[in-house]
Structure 1
């Protein structure tokens, strides 16, 4: 009987989550969700494809390391496996198979020295993946692989392009055009549009023109929709933002390689997007120049800031000089909602005072509102969890939860109702966000209403107050609650030691240290995990600080001498 009640309760909760997720979707998303479920995937049998002959050797950059040295054994997401003839074997994780089907090795570092292997990979893929069958014919896989094929084909003389390669390219482009991801939108639709433009530049005739102009039309709309005025990609994941920056740079490289007049006017918009986006990314990295972990973010998946700066330089794009703080300074990235406090001496605080992302596509969002990350003397000290996997299981849920981030959890609930692998029901909304720079220091404050849905109608208010050698974090919970816990996660390279009931010494690898003191509370130093890569989980120390009342003060002090 108790088991039946639990099942019923879980079913009702999931149904309630679903209702509160669907109400944010666009009608077009709902339509295409149904349409693509009932419409059978197929690839049109193509006549002999016509080449446009306008694409020269690919001038773009590379950032990925090759995943295979023999075309049979591959390493993706920290997992190495030997591939047989089945490119869709169910024993492999789906995301691993997706990476296999992207065929990024065609344009990985050193690919110019692996021409025979690259040709083998293309032949092997065609032989093992009949039209419209398997993971490789899903639209996102199609999009990434089509771009990789076009880049690689651009290096070959037309007489060296096999007929079966061109026919397969044409079939794949047709299949993509028939299943553009209007049900998902966001970075997926952007990737679809980019792929159509690439194939449209490579292929000629009516078919090539159709792909080219449809892709350009989609790109124009999505650039306006997906990028904020401050340069941020609207999914608010530094990792996906970096991927989109590479996509934009690729489009600019395509323009240089083809010199088609139709791309000239588009390139002005692409370059402006790239420059603004790079400025945003520079704000969202730590002094180690790697991204902060907000929403879905980890290392080793997207190009680094350095990779992107090198790509921009190769394309002749002039980026403004990097910002170097001379004094304590703070700013809010108004359009996207993150805030930055910089100190001289390689200290940086990055605070999430943003929404969870676009209402209709928060798939990469976490319940991390009012969380923060902090580096001191160039060393990350406070870190959010990051991600090590996708999917729909308890670990994916934990990594998206409020408790996996440096913020406050109330009554065991998440600030935003993250559920399933990529869904969010009711969401926290920040308000009263303001920053004050004055002679005594910098005050950043914000509140969110994510816990107003609970019986106690709780509002979480947080204030960061920074001086030259300290950071105070003041939390206040307005409303009624049973239990509230502030979570503070420490980078694995730092150690934390008790120096009293509510006082801790944090030691950095270079020997420097800082003192953390808490107001009346019940702190508990426990073990948690940090995920700096897919398939990677590192043990870290974490403070779980239980409130003894409605307020909690956390003071961090250090010496710059």
Structure 2
């Protein structure tokens, strides 16, 4: 392609020319088109702005002043070597709302954007596969375009000329995708490519036998490989989980896929919807484990038929567990960093928790503020940036660049049959690091949580760092207690074994490119006579009389099952 870009362009266009046009978009199931559209819906103001070449993406507004002046290679200054803002621009997700709009002005804007983008894309351009001809971008563009086309046609608001031009643009993207399914990246990229191609041929109402067989084989494989039996997508991100729910609904609706593949898709779609809701906080937005941020996908409860979705008690295949006690909710990660073949979206959040008090996020994940290589990306992926028990200056995972991961690790849950020995509902897990084993047990107690962290080695100091957003007002005695309050909620962290070792300002990011201030409270364990280190603290436990007894039972359980914890693999660098 690099040597003969014009020849490659001809290959793509000839492939596209052999594809049927998506002329049956108006016969696409209306509920499916509407569901897909929820992921690409833009506000009225954003639609009007697009007509003037002004775009607000990822919280950043860039005004090109006109569609003719749009620089499709624009790089946001805040980004470094991964230009997600530019990728979002080229995905043209606003096409859904423009085409679904009943107003002719929106349709004219859609055609103007497609023509401007078409004029700018070239196989001879630098970064060709990440800008004009990105397979991932083409997939999102197709999903937005075809769902918008379906809604607009069903409403009878699209004229034949607009319909024809949009169909031709969609066919070119589909022709390109048929040559560039991202099997090398697998995971959500391959899933998105296949979902876009399936939606295209569903909209076309036609597909050759050979292409149908290829899609059936590839779709079946990607579902089995990347959607776990409990419904969680294997990269274990609540954000990408929402996109997986969409893909599975598309696969289940395609009559050209085999009955076995469609059944598998529907079964996993049902489980995936439950898993997505499981990883949702009381505020309606998603958990931030691994690469996730709020706003990339809709809040799950706003688009799912929650009355028809069964939310599980846990996600055992993914390693996610939940524990509630009075006004306090905790989500814990006791699973792998991600798939061994490509864990690029994984963070070292082993045994980390996200804790809410009265529906307000209290102990938070650092989130994901950017994909670009640098200290911020490193911090947000590191064990030191998360709140699981860790050994100081020991990272269980090695990172390089935006997404590369070298040495792998995974946490493992403590079996429910072991935790049944405790007199209260509990969750827990283990992680093996180069410095030794770490164990966390969380118990529901008197409307709060009692958390016991255990390190089996004394050679390297242990630490647990709790990240608290700055909308909480904190008061601490510097050694044992941190009191926290905000409007409508108050709670306290109390340390029973160990001490508060430090308090410093850090950041967390619930939205991409929008870091917020937070306070990091680092707790230090004490050495115990039996060996190793121990930290015992509570969140929101109002009555302390039962703490010593529960703590003693947890310690007894850990001693009794000292050899029970799973032997967690620590792989050599790839």
Give 1:470 deviation, angstroms.
Answer: 3.2
Aligned position for 2:110: 118
Q: Is 1:440 matched up with 2:434?
A: no
Q: Secondary structure at the match of 2:440?
A: strand
Any idea what the Cα deviations from partners look like across 1:247-288, whole Å, max 9, x if unmatched? Answer: 333455x65xxxx56577654433322211111122211222
Q: Secondary structure at the match of 1:490?
A: strand
The two structures have a TM-score, normalised by structure 1, of: 0.81
Contact in 1 for aligned 2:390/2:462 (Cα 8 Å): yes
- Alpha-carbon distance in 2 for matches of 1:151, 1:350: 34
- Alpha-carbon distance in 2 for matches of 1:38, 1:241: 38
Residue in structure 2 matching 1:65, options 42, 45, 65: 42
Q: Secondary structure at the match of 2:308?
A: coil
- Alpha-carbon distance in 2 for matches of 1:530, 1:226: 28
Q: Secondary structure at the match of 2:494?
A: strand
Any idea what the Cα deviations from partners look like across 1:361-398, whole Å, max 9, x if unmatched? Answer: 11110011011111122222111111111111111111
Aligned position for 1:24: none
Q: Is 1:288 matched up with 2:288?
A: no
The two structures have a TM-score, normalised by structure 2, of: 0.79
Residue in structure 2 matching 1:555, options 530, 538, 546: 538
Give 1:464 deviation, angstroms.
Answer: 1.4
Q: Go from structure 1 to structure 2 and tell me whether the alpha carbon gap of 1:400 and 1:516 turns closer, same or farther (over 3 Å shift).
A: same
Residue in structure 2 matching 1:340, options 306, 322, 327: 322
- Alpha-carbon distance in 1 for matches of 2:337, 2:351: 11
Any idea what the Cα deviations from partners look like across 1:35-71, whole Å, max 9, x if unmatched? Answer: x999976453334764364432552223332445243
Contact in 2 for aligned 1:238/1:293 (Cα 8 Å): yes
Q: Is 1:55 matched up with 2:7?
A: no
Q: Secondary structure at the match of 2:338?
A: coil
Residue in structure 1 matching 2:382, options 385, 392, 401: 401
- Alpha-carbon distance in 2 for matches of 1:509, 1:201: 50
Unaligned residue ranges in structure 2 (runs of 5+): 528-532, 544-574
Q: Go from structure 1 to structure 2 and tell me whether the alpha carbon gap of 1:518 and 1:538 turns closer, same or farther (over 3 Å shift).
A: farther
- Alpha-carbon distance in 1 for matches of 2:258, 2:117: 31
Aligned position for 2:519: 541
1:395-544 map, 5 Å = 395-431=376-412, 433-435=414-416, 436-437=419-420, 440-449=423-432, 451-452=433-434, 457-499=435-477, 501-544=479-522
Aligned position for 1:33: none
Contact in 2 for aligned 1:474/1:551 (Cα 8 Å): yes
Q: Which moved more, 1:142-151 or 1:180-189?
A: 142-151
Contact in 2 for aligned 1:236/1:357 (Cα 8 Å): yes
Any idea what the Cα deviations from partners look like across 1:451-489, whole Å, max 9, x if unmatched? Answer: 22xxxx411122212223232211121224343321101
Q: Go from structure 1 to structure 2 and tell me whether the alpha carbon gap of 1:490 and 1:85 turns closer, same or farther (over 3 Å shift).
A: closer
Q: Secondary structure at the match of 1:181?
A: coil
1:175-254 map, 5 Å = 175-203=176-204, 211-251=211-251
Contact in 2 for aligned 1:50/1:205 (Cα 8 Å): yes
- Alpha-carbon distance in 1 for matches of 2:308, 2:525: 46
Residue in structure 2 matching 1:380, options 361, 368, 383: 361
- Alpha-carbon distance in 1 for matches of 2:99, 2:472: 36
- Alpha-carbon distance in 2 for matches of 1:54, 1:110: 15
Residue in structure 2 matching 1:390, options 371, 374, 380: 371
Contact in 1 for aligned 2:2/2:124 (Cα 8 Å): no
Q: Secondary structure at the match of 1:104?
A: coil
What is the RMSD computed on CA atoms of the aligned residues? 3.0
Unaligned residue ranges in structure 1 (runs of 5+): 1-35, 324-330
